[in-house]
Structure 1
Amino acid sequence: MTAHFPDHFLWGTSTAGHQIDGGDTASDTTFLEGVTPSIFKEPAGLACNSWERWEDDLDLVQEMGLNSYRFSVEWARIEPEEGVIDNTALDHYDRLTDGCLQRGIEPAITLSHFTIPNWFAAKSGWFNHDAPAMFADECARVLDRIGDRIALAITLNEPDLPRILVNGTLPAEVIKIQRSCLDAASKKAGVARYRAGNVFNPEELTSLELGFVRAHRQAVQAVRASRPGVPVGLSLAVIDESYVTEKGKQLALSKRQSCYAPWVEAVKGDDFIGVQNYEREVFADDGIIPAQPGETVNEAGVALHPKSLANAITYIHSQTGLPIVVTEHGVSTEDDDVRCQFLKESIPPLVELVRDDVPIMGYYHWSLLDNFEWISAFDIHFGLCTVDRANGSFNRHLKRSAGVYRDIVASTVL
């Protein structure tokens, strides 16, 4: 089957349903936000109210001069109870898709951006033997409805992230709270093993990855059966692992082998692979070197390295040979001057790769809006736009960085 990529570079921005929509009552994440103890700092609630304000979001994308928008289609909205399909949710995504096209924006969809239906999580989620078939049914349902109008389909968002987190960056106290949160959810749901899309127990990680791989393969088949010409792949979280010593090199290579190697086989035959990069990790003899005095850091205290995106792309392309779509890239900061500079420094190396004939099909900045950033709730800021949540208006305001991004796109010839 031949996938048909757009004949131009896709410049866009990314969002995810639970993080912006609001009122996502049937999802596993909403359920976990309401148990005690919860790993989530606070519930998403109305988030950015994008379920109602989606036209405003698309207007912002258009105002920035972008030609694509990546959003997630939420399974929990479409099938809030097992076997019960909410056609009004499908109608919503129909309108959203048409709204994109009316503005000259090509839709890119994510079929599972972490969240899953509560009923699916109560059946052990991705650990369930029948999970791949159930997910494939959902993918077919979505592609049958809007697949004739989308630029590309992403099956799973960052299925390698749990492995990355376990490899040194997930504190022991967070692991403990995650375990307690899942135990509380199992008890509240009255099931033996409630398992979510993005909260996990480390000892179950290998089985979780197997479930993701099986689900991805069946989802690809479902997408191609419904819409043979739609490019389909998944997105990986990719940290730019670097090193300054020989032992550091071994540590960096070991992490890459653990986190990315399993996916090289899993994505064979896909039309593209999504790369999502936010940072570099520099290894020395004792592990990752922390940010040094004077370095610019993000809200997590991690030093910014604008060339990390180009390095991550180069690595993943060398491993898979697949065309690349940068499905996420950005910086968490309240200092928009930092974001402006980060955009100016990180996109030119990407452009050079394109000009050197590396098959990069598009770039989606994370994120359109300051939104609900999972366990950190609203304390982390990735948006090109602010949202007035405190006064309940949910009005959007473009930051200066949105103008910087617009100018970069307008002035770049590929």
Structure 2
Amino acid sequence: MTTLWSPGEPGTLSDGRTRDRFGAGFLWGTATASYQIEGSPDADGKGPSIWDTFAHTPGKILDGSTGDVACDHYRRMPDDVALMAGLGVNAYRFSISWPRIEPEDGAVEMRGVAFYDRLVDELLAHGIAPVVTLYHWDLPQWAEDLGGWLERDTAQRFADHAEWMVENLGDRVHTWITLNEPVVASTFGYGFGTHAPGKVLMFDSFTATHHLLLGHGLAVQAMRAAADGDLRIGITHNLSPVHPETDSDADRAAAASLDAIQNRIYMDSVLLGEYPDPEVVGIPVDRSCVSHGDLAVIAEPIDVLGINYYNPTLVSAPAEGNPLPFELKQFPSEDVTDMGWPVVPDGLREVLVQQQERYGDALPPVMVTENGVAYPDTLEDGDVPRVDDPRRVQYLREHIAAVGRAADEGVDVQGYFVWSFLDNFEWAEGYRPRFGLVYTDYATQRRVPKTSYTWFQSFLGGRS
């Protein structure tokens, strides 16, 4: 039986490791995304994003909510950074709201730039390194009206946006992530329609995939050209180790197919300059959007790879009538999150080691740019408000230990970011799932650090 951690005990991992075991230069942080926390959808000249439009479309968000207020971070940023500093992190990953910077095509809003300028300065004043994600899904609505990621021109527009942000923040921001989880932006946004902009194109969503990846490569080129000094530039992929349900040839082929669709399309193109063989992918993909030289641009060398991990995936051969080349199964686990995801800590070690084995010298240093869990949290109000979340504490203790085991096996891991700093707007799920180290009381915008915050604080401050 697992013994749960309680406040007052040293902040160690499930295997007894302390922070010191990861080295002095390791980045320890939390992560957020602009639409999920900022609110203020039209403040200081901001234009609408595809998520503003999508969330205001009836029936798209499970609880009928929007990100109009979210965590009100746009107005409460200094207090949030102070709370972050109290946690003891040395890095914070946040995203830029593109429509806050460019509310209309080619029209830069300097008040939007000024917000991120203040945020960066506030972080640095507290000894926290800013790690900036340029695109975490909130495409300007005007760009979607011009075709969105189905149009090749969007890739160049994104590169222009990236160049502008480096010109304005590159003197203080060293680490940049171009895209967050292009697999989710493409598959859910353009394939299944469950995320903004809500297109249901199924296999034809590959056009959006390709243009997202092309935008990444063009952005890397533009950022390098605009930088006065050295930048560490990368991309973040949501990776999941895929397991066949049995060792049969049919199940193994199904696993190879999903691995190609979810992982290798994004990893092979960025690191090797190629897409997986169509026979392995197993679905009809129209690649006419790929022009000569595109893959060389997509494979522009990067300095760091962000890996987001939440759970492994189990598949079998498809049942009759299934148009996909695989059937999703429930991965066996002792615990399941509020999102219905299995809790498998060793899957994080597995996915990190898998990339090292698969790509070898082509794999740059990696950072775990997201890892976290949604559990039902209850605010115990009183003289001292309290949110006790021992399951999340144990989740973090076990998953960070898995990062340590991957490092023991030779993976060059240079950072770990908890998703998320605050409970926030969880996309199509609305406000029900709570991922935060800090509880957000949405009615009052009061922040209440959870027990997991206290544990992470102890871990970050503890020394062997």
Distance 1:355 1:412 in 2: 20
The structure number with the bigger radius of gyration is: 2
Residue 84 of structure 1 is matched in structure 2 by 107
Q: Deviations over 1:86-143 (max 9, x none)?
A: 1011111111001000000000000000011111111111122211221111111111
Residue 192 of structure 1 is matched in structure 2 by none
1:266 aligns with 2:274: no
Cα deviation for residue 32 of structure 1 reads: 1.7
**Is the deviation greater in 103-112 or in 31-40?**
31-40
Residue 52 of structure 2 is matched in structure 1 by 30
Residue 13 of structure 2 is matched in structure 1 by none
Residue 218 of structure 2 is matched in structure 1 by 218
Cα deviation for residue 280 of structure 1 reads: 1.6
Give 3-state SS (helix, strand or coil) of 2:392's partner.
Answer: helix
Give 3-state SS (helix, strand or coil) of 2:448's partner.
Answer: strand
Give 3-state SS (helix, strand or coil) of 2:415's partner.
Answer: strand
1:245 partner letter: T
Residue 133 of structure 2 is matched in structure 1 by 110
Residue 62 of structure 1 is matched in structure 2 by 85
Cα deviation for residue 271 of structure 1 reads: 1.1
Distance 2:197 2:212 in 1: 10
TM-score by length of 1: 0.86
% identity of equivalent residues: 29
Q: 1:112 to 1:332 in 2, by over 3 A?
A: same
Q: Is the 8 A contact 2:241 2:259 kept in 1?
A: no
Partner of residue 252 from structure 1, selected from 237, 251, 255: 255
Q: Structure 1 unaligned runs (5+)?
A: 1-5, 182-195
Partner of residue 184 from structure 2, selected from 161, 184, 187: 161
**Is the deviation greater in 312-321 or in 148-157?**
312-321
1:333 aligns with 2:375: yes
Distance 1:259 1:30 in 2: 27
Q: Deviations over 1:13-42 (max 9, x none)?
A: 000000000022421110122234535632
Distance 2:331 2:217 in 1: 39
1:398 partner letter: P
**Is the deviation greater in 363-372 or in 147-156?**
147-156
Distance 2:214 2:244 in 1: 34
Q: 1:102 to 1:326 in 2, by over 3 A?
A: same
TM-score by length of 2: 0.77
Figure out how many residues of one structure are paired with residues of the other and give that number.
381
Q: Is the 8 A contact 1:369 1:384 kept in 2?
A: yes
Cα deviation for residue 164 of structure 1 reads: 6.5
Residue 361 of structure 1 is matched in structure 2 by 414
Distance 1:78 1:408 in 2: 37
Distance 2:376 2:101 in 1: 34
Cα deviation for residue 54 of structure 1 reads: 1.0
**Is the deviation greater in 215-224 or in 256-265?**
256-265
Larger helix fraction of residues: 1
1:16 aligns with 2:33: yes
1:279 aligns with 2:318: no
Residue 190 of structure 1 is matched in structure 2 by none
Partner of residue 400 from structure 1, selected from 437, 441, 451: 451
Residue 231 of structure 1 is matched in structure 2 by 232
Cα deviation for residue 198 of structure 1 reads: 7.3
Distance 1:37 1:300 in 2: 19
Partner of residue 160 from structure 2, selected from 125, 134, 137: 137
Q: Is the 8 A contact 2:174 2:230 kept in 1?
A: no
Q: Is the 8 A contact 1:71 1:109 kept in 2?
A: yes
Residue 314 of structure 1 is matched in structure 2 by 353
